[in-house]
Amino acid sequence: MLSHKINSFSIWLLALSLSVVCIILIGGYTRISDSGLSITEWLPISGILYPLSEEAWIVEFNKYKLIDEFMLINSGMSLNEFKYIYFWEWFHRAFARFIGLTYLIPAVYLIISKKIPKELYLNILLIGVLIAIQAIVGWYMVKSGLSGRVDVSQYRLFLHLTIAFIILGLIFYSLLRFLYENQISKNLLKFNKSLLLLFVLVFSQIIYGAFVSGTDSGLLYNTWPYYNGNLVPNELITKDSYLLNFFENGEFILFTHRTFALVLLITVIYINFVIINNVPSHKTLILIICFDIFFLVQVGIGILMTIWNIPWYLALAHQGNSVILFLLSIYMWFLSRKPS
């Protein structure tokens, strides 16, 4: 029974997890709607204020007009159109501040009241440090798109997304440690390495998606499984340095992302085969089947995104479903670990 574990500490971790999930989705839509460069300054305190007067809006719009994105792409944008993209970037930053407070205020209370288990102190401190770093990285990412280009650097987008998922994973892992302590699933114990591999592959595929998004690689082909009738894209290798193709060549990035999805599929099939043939537990089977369902949904959304030229709602569903897969992979690996 976990009822005795439902207290202020576990509720706080759960609320923090949900908040991070929300900001990942908000950040995803901010990216999809091309709203990320609408605020050209980072003002940690006064930046929370939302423009309310027409004069304030004109001031913000004039700042936006100075950057390359406006001059080269959005020069015909109206003030009302600007207000839309401004809102999403402002909301993203405002929600980030909310998460900071959601972490800091309860953490101080829980530390003073000694309600944080000693073995989780380091985890909680690391979460706070990463949240602070993420705020700085967020501006570092936005700054990359303000001059000399019309979008943020895919490298900085990758860093921002990676830290977001590390924060979410650490919060969720801490919650699982608190709720389950040294409990394990004996049925999954012998599959620890396989489930750890699955988690690593899921995490890797998610964060590599930042390069697909950051280079708009997903828009290059709207056919699947072929690339306009070819087995591989037309210009698979374009960079002198082979390694740079992984991060800067859109066609290679898309090919890698799709191919890695196939690797993941094979891994999932293998794990299903070995666990279902060796584990009689109904709870374990239900857990594996749940993962399978969300994985197949993810594949289906990815295919539809490609064919329909990445509509925003499918792109957001793809990111949201990836969060579920990420958390499920952590949960399955957690249950398979040896007790500390």
Residue ranges covered by each domain of the chain: 1-181, 185-340
Sequential DSSP letters for 68-103: HHHHHT-TT--HHHHHHHHHHHHHHHHHHHHHHHHH
Neighbours of 237 (CB within 10 A): 12
Task: Report pLDDT for 6.
Answer: 83
Task: Report pLDDT for 109.
Answer: 96
- Helix or strand or coil: residue 220? coil
Instruction: Give the whole-angstrom CA distance, residue 340 versus residue 334.
Output: 11
Beta-strand (E) ranges in the chain? none
Task: Report pLDDT for 105.
Answer: 97
| pLDDT (tens place) for every residue of the chain, 340 residues total | 565 678 899 999 999 999 999 999 999 999 999 999 999 999 988 899 999 999 999 999 999 999 999 999 999 999 999 999 999 999 999 999 999 999 999 999 999 999 999 999 999 999 999 999 999 999 999 999 998 899 999 999 999 999 999 999 999 999 999 998 766 666 677 888 999 999 999 999 999 999 999 999 999 999 999 999 999 998 888 887 889 999 999 999 999 999 999 999 999 999 999 888 887 678 888 999 999 999 999 999 999 999 999 999 999 999 999 999 999 999 999 988 876 5
Q: What is the DSSP letter of 203?
A: H
Task: Report pLDDT for 185.
Answer: 63
List of long-range contacts for 123-127, beta carbons under 8 Å, 24+ apart:
123/170, 123/173, 123/174, 123/177, 124/174, 126/170, 127/16, 127/103, 127/167, 127/170, 127/171, 127/174
Residue type (1 letter), 90: W
Task: Report pLDDT for 190.
Answer: 82
Q: Please list, residue by residue across 68-103, b when 16 or more beta carbons sit within 10 angstroms of its beta carbon and e when fewer do.
A: ebbeeebeebeeeebeebbbbbbbbbebbeebbebb
pTM score of the predicted model: 0.95
Task: Report pLDDT for 239.
Answer: 81
